[in-house]
Structure 1
Amino acid sequence: MKHMRFYTHLAVACASVMAFSSASVAAEYPNKQIELIVSYAAGGGTDLLARAYAEAVNKILPKSVGVVNKPGGSGALGLTEVARAKPDGYKIAMGVVEMTTLPALGMGRFEVDDFTPIARLNAEPAAITVQAEAPWKTYEEFMAYAKANPGKVRVGNSGTGAIWHLAAAALEQKTGVSFNHVPFEGAAPAVASLLGGHIEALAVSPAEVVTQVQAGKLKTLVVMGDVRAKGFENVPTLKEKGIDLSIGTWRGLVAPKKTPKEAIDVLKKATKQATEDPAFQQTLAKMNMSFSYMDAETFGSAMKKDEAFFNVLIPQLGLKK
């Protein structure tokens, strides 16, 4: 009987300690600066988004979020650092679609399950864009020409194995056409090459061609998203054309696996509040970035879906290093 009372008291004591510990973490977090790791160089889209987020969330959190650039390995270096970091909430990452492609390419020793999702902030679909004076007025005309001329249509992308290359390759698989994929060191030089008439098409996001489309130099034929893109409301989606393909890039916040729930809850609440700040949304609009918020659970499911998709597509393309 004495033993039973002892164990009962012990269990109550343990539960009290755990409850106090959780409350303590929630009350104290964050008590020092949070590092937000960006896996790319300063000045790019991911970096600019991270800095806009930090500016917004620093109005809310008691301690600041500081952006730290860790470029290398096409994004693998910074993502690996966060995946292996101490899961205490003080080192988080700007998660990117490459989280789901690099491992399949043999370039990243991590997987989606090594991260805890916080929220998605931005998403941009792939799109097929051609010169304004190109002979193809519609997606159907473009694809009919590509099918009749296998390998003749040069489609620019932002690098072999990068998301825009994978988007064009996925379109090939879905439709049976054959493109001549031309890699560039990023989307900007690919756009310049199309403007110069050195390639026939691009498979980059609408955001990366919006200025040239508005100037009447380029035209976008189709968008590879679930819905029509903002500013491109007259451009149909692949799904409207009967092609079940939605592919593009996204960016959001992730923490290492096993980060305490209390810390994640603080970050989720602060992030939701920060992204509702009109100044944050206006900053994204000025950068031609689409604000596309997803809560942690939905974001996690979307990442798993992409991971499964690329784990099949990339080996089929023979791109694994």
Structure 2
Amino acid sequence: MKKIITTVLLSALCATTGTVAANASSNYPDGPVKIIVPYSAGGGSDSVSRALAEALKPDFPDGIAVENRTGGAGSIGMSYGMNSKADGSIVTMIAPELVMLPHTGNGGDIDYKKFKPLAMVNSGYAAITVPADSPYTTLAELIEGAKDNNLLFGNSGTGSIWHLAGAGMEQAAGVEFTHVPYKGSAAAITSLLGKHLDGVSVSYAEVAPHVEAGTLRALAVLAPNRLADNPDVPTATELGYDVVIGTWRGYAVPSDTPQATVDFLTESILKAAESNTFVKFMKNTNNDIEIIGTEKFTNKIANEDTFYKQLIESIGLNN
């Protein structure tokens, strides 16, 4: 069973009738709704959002569907959603790039303060991973090795979440890696399998098949807790390195959306995220469910804005 973390009690949010649609304070939804995904069709953000949309259909009689608006590492789609009419007809999938890109000078006009977060439903944390026959069998050995050797560390592209994960790890450990950017995590993992790298910092879900096959070894995860997928892998935090970095997927509407509409959407998303349809999909696709409601999600985004600003400036990626 995939890990499910729920920080909001649904019974306290949903009406006693058991149906979100019973919200009498609003006529919403009074038309079709689009979920804007700022990434390409077929990717993780797209597939998770389509699975969620399927689970949401009972609450949206006029229809709810995904629309992909790509470009700018996610900024194009997020900008479109941020500037859309604040009536609940447009819901935007948001990700860490919302608070990363502005600090690199590549975010266009996106501003997390112009969104009202609804709920987060998915997370995936970085894993520090090496070849199975690497001389570094623990994170401590890898860190020690980095003090005397030029270790090549692959990631999914300069300025990507996994590049920042590697940078965060080296800063927490007080060492330096040579970061090698690739066009996506898959290319970095292939290079690691070919022994062209000493390690990678990408999501655990992406390396899990190779770890299970015995060709790669995960030394640590940059997660708040050990992952249910592989509880034998320690967190960096428990090993003495204060670093937690990963991706997440959540949903938001323009900040001036009426509260009744915000409440309806939030309750509906929280309910859908625990539905059998969505849980089954996430389990079958190696995606971890992590559910956070509006208040905690809002705080998480603000905290990450501060964190990524400092990290991006410290490695010279700010413009």
1:61/1:270 contact within 8 Å kept: no
Query: Equivalent residue for 2:37?
Result: 38
Distance 1:153 1:285 in 2: 34
Distance 1:211 1:176 in 2: 30
Residue in 1 that maps onto 2:237: 239
What is aligned with 2:125? 125
Counterpart selection for 1:204 from 202, 205, 212: 202
Q: Distance in 1 between matches of 2:137 and 2:23?
A: 62
The equivalent of 1:143 in structure 2 is 143
Whose helix fraction is larger, Structure 1's or Structure 2's? 1
Q: 2:137 is aligned with what amino acid?
A: K
Contact preservation (8 Å) 1:275, 1:281: yes
Q: What are the within-5 Å matches in structure 2 for residues 238-317 of structure 1?
A: 238-317=236-315
Larger gyration radius, structure 1 or structure 2: 1
Question: 2:205 touches 2:286 (CA, 8 Å); kept in 1?
Answer: yes
The answer for the alignment partner of 2:19 in structure 1 is none
Residue of structure 2 equivalent to 1:91 = 90
Instruction: Return the letter of the residue paired with 2:317.
Output: L
Q: Do 2:120 and 2:290's aligned partners in 1 also have CA atoms closer than 8 Å? A: yes
Gaps of 5+ in 1: 1-22
How many pairs were matched up?
A: 297
SS of the residue 2:251 aligns to: strand
> CA offset at residue 60 of structure 1?
2.7
Q: CA deviation at 1:32?
A: 1.2
**1:42-53 residue pairs with structure 2 within 5 A?**
42-53=41-52
Match of 1:116 in 2: 116
SS of the aligned residue for 1:126 comes to: strand
Change (3 A) 1:83 1:25: farther
The letter of the residue matching 1:166 is L
Q: Within the alignment, does 1:100 sit opposite 2:66 as a pair?
A: no
Q: CA deviation at 1:59?
A: 2.5
Amino acid in the other structure paired with 1:40:
Y
Letter of the 1:105 partner, please give it.
Answer: T
* Shift in Å, 1:24: 11
Aligned to 1:80: 79
For 2:135 and 2:310, the matched residues in 1 are separated by 35
Aligned partners of 2:32 and 2:60 also within 8 Å: no
The residue type equivalent to 2:201 in the other structure is A
Instruction: Find the residue that maps to 1:181 and give its secondary structure.
Output: strand
Per mean C-alpha deviation after superposition, the further-off stretch among 272-281 and 156-165 is 272-281
Map of 2:226 onto structure 1: 228
Q: Specify the code of the residue in structure 1 equivalent to 2:60.
A: L
How far 1:284 moved relative to its partner?
Answer: 0.8
Q: Give ranges in structure 2 of 5+ residues lacking alignment.
A: 1-21
Q: TM-score, normalised by structure 2?
A: 0.90
| Alignment partners' CA distance in 1, 2:193 and 2:76 | 34
SS in 2 for 1:63: coil
CA positional deviation for 1:28 = 2.0
Q: Is the 8 A contact 1:60 1:274 kept in 2?
A: no
Shift of 1:64: 1.8
Under a length normalisation based on structure 1, what TM-score does the superposition of the two structures give? 0.90
Aligned residue in 1 for 2:70? 71
Which of 176, 183, 186 is 2:184 aligned to?
186
How far off its partner does 1:174 sit? 1.6
Equivalent residue for 1:19?
none
Distance in 1 (CA, whole Å) between partners of 2:210 and 2:77 is 33
